[in-house]
Amino acid sequence: MILVVDNHPFQYEMEKICTIFFSQEKIKTVRESDETGERVFTSLRENVITVKAFVNSKSAVKSCRYDLDDAEMQMARMLVEVLSGLTGKKPKWGVLTGIRPTKLMRSEIEKSGREKAIEFFEKNYLVSHDKAILCADVAENEQKIISRVDSHSCCLYISIPFCPTRCKYCSFVSHSVERTNKLVDPYVEALCREIELSGRIVRSTDLRLDAVYFGGGTPSTLSAQNLRKVLSCVRDNFDLDDNVEYTVEAGRPDTVDREKLEALKEFGVGRISVNAQTLNDEILAKIGRNHTSDDFYKAIALAKEFGFDAINTDLIAGLEDESYESFCENIERTIELSPENVTVHTLCLKRSSTLVTDSRKVRRDEKTVDMMVEYANKRLLESGYEPYYMYRQSKSLGNLENVGWCKKGKECAYNILMMEEVSTVIACGAGAVTKLYDRKTGKIERIFNFKYPYEYIDRFEETVERKQKISEFFGK
């Protein structure tokens, strides 16, 4: 697919919109083209915006007078309208391509109230009525948590980038522990040094710890002994009073055992995640998860014995070969288990995942994925869950969203604070990104750690140096 960008600065947004309609194709952007074939032409000349497209042997054109304050949106809306007309595809998030639609919604609600904000989303961004309502619900639920924190709030993120095996759809920096086993002990050593350093830095500032989150990877891939090492290092270096929310992902059921759960409980962890992704054994085997639905049920039953404040479970809509009926069954079985949180992701076709690097082309029926997401939203609402956080990823099927659902009062504050970027996040470990929240501007500055465990271990002194920026930032 060729995208012509003629005399305007909105290339990035127009490319993103083309990707929604032609998700399986490469978009080639050019300044001018006399090529024939499928192409989209976008132009801004003599105060007129024009969008033309030649797709599926049909063509359509729209133009309007340029409005200085709204030009990008004008062009984006016309492009969505033209491509919708030619392809029959109506993206439910309209022109919105960003990760955090709820940020926009919160600011609209603050400006003009819920109803007007919903209307604005529908008219200005061409968002469907249902998605605008979902977004408003999430934004209002998030606001309850956000209003409890001030600009001194900080979260601690600990990255454990190891998993028992690599899932086919995974795009994270996560290593199969079988292949990288010898890195684990030196990694834990380096990680504990970084946690100590971070504790010292945080104590020298006026930051207040609100949440701790272990993610990755799968933190529970660590042995109980290594898990204890990291947990005790956090306890010794941070002020973990009763108000601090403490979450550890134990995402892979095949990593959950009594000894590890005892360690989590002993060190005050209140929330864990045990993820099914699907309860269909054939599909679990196909996606490389290395566990069965029975392993998942057993892990959940064991976790429940420990009385954590909240257990989350993740499901994915759109997994390879999963039918609509099978997905609905996953939702029903999960609701029966009654976890405090359920997170429903839409499958994302990231270039770094084996799913995409595999030779054959991935094709999915986006209509079915849409029906799956709608079913999940409806049934979770009916079952007493509230949508409490949301994010979107590029390359997700149908350009759909990921939503965290919770029983009343059981939201994970870390997910909200991190996603909405309203708190400083001090992050430790490979691939971790520290985010410094500027109290005056609300903007975020980032410090990146090395991505891979071997780099993180070998170049640890560089991480130490980079971390000094935290003290400089808060000493400003």
> Where do contacts with ligand SF4 occur on this chain (CB under 6 A)?
163, 166-167, 170, 172, 174, 216-218, 251-252
Half-sphere exposure of 275 (CA within 13 A, CB side): 23
Q: How far is the CB of 215 from ligand SF4 (least distance, A)?
A: 8
Q: How far is the CB of 213 from ligand SF4 (least distance, A)?
A: 14
Strand partners for 30: 4
Q: How far is the CB of 74 from ligand SF4 (least distance, A)?
A: 39
In the complex with ligand SF4, the residue whose CB is nearer, 167 or 413, is 167
In the complex with ligand SF4, the residue whose CB is nearer, 352 or 468, is 352
Q: How far is the CB of 216 from ligand SF4 (least distance, A)?
A: 6
Q: How far is CA 249 from CA 161, 197, 222, 411, in A?
A: 12, 23, 12, 15
Q: How far is the CB of 365 from ligand SF4 (least distance, A)?
A: 23
50/64 Cα distance (integer angstroms): 7
Residue 396, SS3?
Answer: strand
Q: Name the residue whose CB lies closest to ligand SF4.
A: 170
Residue 208: what are its φ and ψ, rounded to 5°?
-125, 125
Half-sphere exposure of 409 (CA within 13 A, CB side): 1
Q: What angle do CA 106, 108, 114 make, to 5 degrees?
A: 85
Q: What is the 3-state secondary structure (H, E, C) of 249-261?
A: ECCCHHHCCHHHH
In the complex with ligand SF4, the residue whose CB is nearer, 101 or 216, is 216
Q: How far is the CB of 340 from ligand SF4 (least distance, A)?
A: 20
Residues near 258 by Cβ (< 8 Å), separated by ≥ 6?
Answer: 302
In the complex with ligand SF4, the residue whose CB is nearer, 450 or 474, is 450
Q: How far is the CB of 158 from ligand SF4 (least distance, A)?
A: 14
In the complex with ligand SF4, the residue whose CB is nearer, 91 or 215, is 215
DSSP 175-199: EEHHHHHHHHHHHHHHHHHHHHHHH
Q: How far is the CB of 209 from ligand SF4 (least distance, A)?
A: 25
In the complex with ligand SF4, the residue whose CB is nearer, 104 or 412, is 412
Note the Cα 448 to chain centre separation in Å.
18
In the complex with ligand SF4, the residue whose CB is nearer, 41 or 172, is 172
Element (H, E) at 465: helix 460-475
Q: Are strands 175-176 and 162-163 parallel, antiparallel or unpaired?
A: parallel
**Contact status, residue 446 vs residue 426, Cβ threshold 8 Å:** no
Element (H, E) at 59: strand 58-65
Half-sphere exposure of 71 (CA within 13 A, CB side): 18
In the complex with ligand SF4, the residue whose CB is nearer, 76 or 284, is 284
Q: How far is the CB of 345 from ligand SF4 (least distance, A)?
A: 10
**Contact status, residue 300 vs residue 274, Cβ threshold 8 Å:** yes
In the complex with ligand SF4, the residue whose CB is nearer, 104 or 348, is 348
In the complex with ligand SF4, the residue whose CB is nearer, 217 or 387, is 217
Q: How far is the CB of 353 from ligand SF4 (least distance, A)?
A: 9
Helix axes 129-146, 413-420, angle to 10 degrees: 110
